[in-house]
């Protein structure tokens, strides 16, 4: 006899586990199926984000930033340190323990919310009168029936054709997060979010890092004034970023790799390195779902086709997160998970795609919400821009980190904030105020008139708002 549920969620990444919790809060009987295994073969819910994404990358970014500070910045504060050494194995073990705390936290949340967790792969068997039959195989072997199904199966790293990941020399995000010793030379293909974050980690620890990027523009989706400022800072730190390249043959040997590439001028080059990280985007993951058995519609990229409310082509089957259209971000997956649970309960869940923040956790951090200046220009929208440099912010000076700026874009006629772009210290935290402002459709004048604590980095946001009206007080 199969176990019956109101909802079966497949995938326990941020999209799936959050959907499961919200559905349980709303009184549904919920099962969540996830196949991720930890090194001992046990369950490791949390998906890409927890196991090989957001959380471990931020742990390594933090460790490597401490190392960089000790090596290069403590002296400015009068702190003398010598013989600063990095124990890579310890750093990686700390990262693993941070991951485990998050895995355990999710298992606890499943218990707390009375969600039945099944460790294994979930696949469609068939549609039945009561909903859908799902077979779980792996550590748990069960057949479940759910009135409704939420698919949150995430994404996987995109490989370059002919160069599969071996996770020893050719690394995806997975291998990049568990390199055992600092490579002398590290090559990366793709200077997107992963390329910059992982490149920064290993550069800080002493690797000579070269990133090969196909596009002629650095961070093309980012406001270009902000991207240029960030590029300057990264190059100064020693990251080699080659733009407009064409990657050719990649020869992989046991101890290293040789990448043939052509630079923007068309000149043939070779890059030899100990390790190669390929970070050229991710692909939606529906492998193993047995989508054909029920006629689930996928697009040409393999993403599950959904409408604006995350409904698939099948009644009662929803999909959220990386496996559907939209930005591949953990918080976007979570918001969709909550909205879907609320829709299943007959409520009106909502996700505002215009106010999803982006953060790149490099140093300086890059964060933005809303439209870039180039997007506004392309749309022919009349706008006013205000910028304020951290150089003129007292807290940034006290921190010893004055790189970057806050840039605010507001409608020329109504003054509604259309976008905020930050490069600089704690941009990841500063952007939250701007998201709130945009959700409430604030004007730049609203932010300019709100009292911000002194001295704080957030005063730079207020000053950028004042700059929209050309009346900065401290610059």
Catalytically active residues are 454
Q: Which of 8, 32, 49, 339 binds ligand FAD (CB under 6 A)?
A: 49
Among ligand FAD, ligand NAI, none, residue 33 binds (CB under 5-8 Å by kind):
ligand FAD
Q: How far is the CB of 156 from ligand NAI (least distance, A)?
A: 10
Bridging pattern class, strands 268-273 and 131-137: unpaired
- Dist CA 17 CA 21 (whole Å): 6
CB 177 within 8 Å of CB 57: yes
Nearest Cα residue to 36 out of 111, 94, 108, 122:
122
**Which residue, chain included where needed, has tokens 């409904």?**
311
Helix (H) or strand (E) run with residue 221 in it: none
Give CA–CA dist 116/383, Å, rounded: 51
Q: Which of residues 290-349 bind ligand NAI (CB under 6 A)?
A: 327-329
Q: Is 41 in the site for ligand FAD (CB under 6 A)?
A: no
Q: Are 386 and 445 in contact (CB under 8 A)?
A: no
Element (H, E) at 186: strand 185-189
Q: Which is nearer to ligand NAI, 116 or 191 (CB)?
A: 191
Task: Tell which one of 61, 360, 417, 427 touches ligand NAI (CB under 6 A).
Answer: 360
Does residue 63 touch ligand FAD according to CB under 6 A?
Answer: no
Q: Which of 22, 43, 53, 169 binds ligand FAD (CB under 6 A)?
A: 53
Contact region for ligand FAD (CB under 6 A) — 74-82, 246-254, 323-331, 399-407? Answer: 323-331
Distances (CA, A) of 231 to 105, 413, 469: 37, 33, 28
Q: Map residues 2-41 to x or -, x wherever contact with ligand NAI holds by CB under 6 A.
A: ----------------------------------------
- Piece of the chain touching ligand NAI by CB under 6 A; list 189-197, 311-319, 333-341, 445-453: 189-197
Binding-site partner at residue 321 among ligand FAD, ligand NAI, none, CB < 5 to 8 Å by type: ligand FAD
Cβ 329 to ligand NAI, closest distance in Å? 5
Considering the complex, state which of residue 9 and residue 329 has its C-beta at the smaller distance from ligand NAI: 329
Q: Of ligand FAD, ligand NAI, none, which one does residue 281 interact with (CB within 5 to 8 Å by kind)?
A: ligand NAI
- Cβ closest to ligand NAI, residue 215 vs residue 399: 215
Residue 199 has phi, psi (to 5 degrees) of -60, -40
Residues in contact with 188: Cβ distance below 8 Å, sequence separation at least 6, in sequence order: 195, 198, 199, 209, 210, 211, 212, 276, 277, 278, 279
DSSP state letters, 390-420: GGG-HHHHHHT----EEEEEEETTT-BEEEE
Q: Which among 90-98, 325-333, 403-411, 463-471 is the span making contact with ligand FAD, rule CB under 6 A?
A: 325-333
Q: Is 222 in the site for ligand NAI (CB under 6 A)?
A: no
Q: Pick between residue 211 and residue 465 the one whose CB is nearest to ligand NAI.
A: 211
- How many residues bind ligand NAI, per CB under 6 A? 23
Site string for ligand NAI, 143-182 (x = CB under 6 A): ----------------------------------------
**Contact call for residue 190 and ligand NAI (CB under 6 A):** yes
CB atoms < 10 A from the CB of 387, how many?
20
Residues 6+ apart with CB under 8 A from 344: 6, 7, 23, 26, 28, 148, 150, 318
Does the footprint of ligand NAI cover residue 213 (CB under 6 A)? Answer: yes
| Nearest-approach distance from CB 32 to ligand NAI, in angstroms | 23
CB of 373 to ligand NAI, least distance (A): 19
Shorter beta-carbon distance to ligand FAD: residue 289 or 344: 289
Closest CA to 438 of 404, 408, 469: 408
Alpha carbons within 13 angstroms on the beta-carbon side of residue 211 total 28
Which distant-in-sequence residues (6+ apart) come within 8 Å of 84 by Cβ?
67, 70, 71
Q: Based on the shown chain and the rule CB under 6 A, indicate whether residue 35 belongs to the binding site for ligand FAD.
A: yes
How near is the Cβ of 362 to ligand FAD at its closest, in Å? 11
Rounded to whole angstroms, what are the CA distances from 49 to 175, 202, 208? 15, 20, 27
Q: Which is nearer to ligand FAD, 180 or 380 (CB)?
A: 180
- Of 61-69, 329-337, 365-373, 380-388, the segment contacting ligand FAD by CB under 6 A is 329-337
**Which residues on adjacent β-strands are paired with residue 187?**
210, 276
Interacting residue with ligand NAI among 5, 361, 388, 390 (CB under 6 A): 361
21 binds, among ligand NAI, ligand FAD, none (CB under 5 to 8 A by kind): none
- In this chain, which of 9, 92, 207, 212 binds ligand NAI, going by CB under 6 A? 212
Binding to ligand FAD in span 98-117, by CB under 6 A: none
DSSP 8-state secondary structure symbol assigned to residue 364: S
On the 0-12 / 13-18 / 19+ scale of CB atoms within 10 A, 191 is buried
Region from 51-59, 266-274, 295-303, 394-402 binding ligand FAD, contact rule CB under 6 A: 51-59
Count other Cβ atoms within 10 Å, centred on residue 405.
Answer: 24
């Amino acid at each position: 006899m199969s176990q019956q549920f109101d909802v079966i969620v497949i995938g326990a990444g941020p999209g799936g586990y959050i959907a499961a919790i919200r559905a349980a809060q709303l009184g549904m009987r919920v099962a969540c199926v996830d196949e991720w295994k930890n090194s001992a073969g046990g369950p490791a819910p949390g998906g890409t984000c927890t196991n090989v994404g957001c959380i471990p990358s931020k742990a390594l970014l933090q460790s490597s930033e401490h190392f960089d500070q000790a090596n290069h910045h403590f002296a400015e504060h009068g702190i003398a340190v010598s013989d600063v050494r990095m124990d890579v194995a310890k750093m990686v073990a700390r990262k693993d323990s941070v991951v485990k705390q998050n895995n355990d936290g999710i298992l606890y949340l499943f218990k707390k919310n009375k969600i039945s967790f099944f460790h294994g792969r979930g696949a469609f068997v068939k549609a039945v009168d009561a909903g859908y039959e799902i077979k779980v195989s792996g550590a748990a072997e069960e057949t479940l029936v759910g009135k409704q199904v939420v698919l949150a199966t995430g994404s996987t790293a995109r490989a370059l054709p002919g160069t599969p990941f071996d996770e020893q020399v050719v690394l995806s995000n997975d291998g990049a997060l568990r390199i055992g010793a600092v490579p002398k030379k590290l090559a990366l293909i793709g200077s997107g979010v992963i390329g910059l974050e992982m490149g920064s980690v290993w550069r800080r620890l002493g690797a000579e890092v070269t990133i090969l990027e196909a596009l002629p523009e650095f961070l093309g989706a980012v406001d270009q004034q902000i991207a240029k400022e960030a590029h300057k800072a990264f190059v100064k730190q020693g990251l080699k970023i080659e733009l407009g390249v064409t990657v050719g043959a990649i020869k992989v040997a046991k101890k290293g790799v040789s990448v043939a590439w052509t630079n923007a001028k068309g000149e043939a080059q070779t890059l030899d390195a100990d390790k190669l990280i390929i970070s050229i985007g991710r692909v939606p993951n529906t492998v193993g779902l047995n989508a054909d058995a029920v006629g689930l519609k996928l697009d040409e990229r393999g993403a599950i086709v959904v409408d604006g409310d995350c409904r698939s082509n099948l009644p009662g089957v929803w999909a959220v997160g990386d496996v559907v259209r939209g930005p591949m971000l953990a918080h976007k997956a979570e918001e969709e998970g909550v909205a879907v649970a609320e829709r299943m309960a007959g409520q009106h869940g909502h996700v505002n795609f215009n106010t999803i923040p982006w953060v790149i956790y490099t140093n300086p951090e890059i964060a933005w919400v809303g439209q870039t200046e180039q997007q506004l220009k392309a749309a022919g929208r009349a706008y006013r821009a205000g910028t304020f440099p951290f150089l003129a912010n007292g807290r940034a000076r006290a921190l010893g980190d004055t790189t970057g700026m806050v840039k605010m874009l507001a409608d020329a006629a109504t003054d509604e904030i259309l976008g905020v772009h930050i490069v600089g210290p704690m941009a990841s935290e500063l952007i939250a105020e701007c998201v709130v402002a945009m959700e409430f459709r604030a004007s730049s004048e609203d932010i300019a008139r709100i009292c911000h604590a002194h001295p704080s980095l957030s005063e730079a946001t207020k000053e950028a708002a004042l700059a929209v009206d050309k009346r900065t007080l401290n610059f």
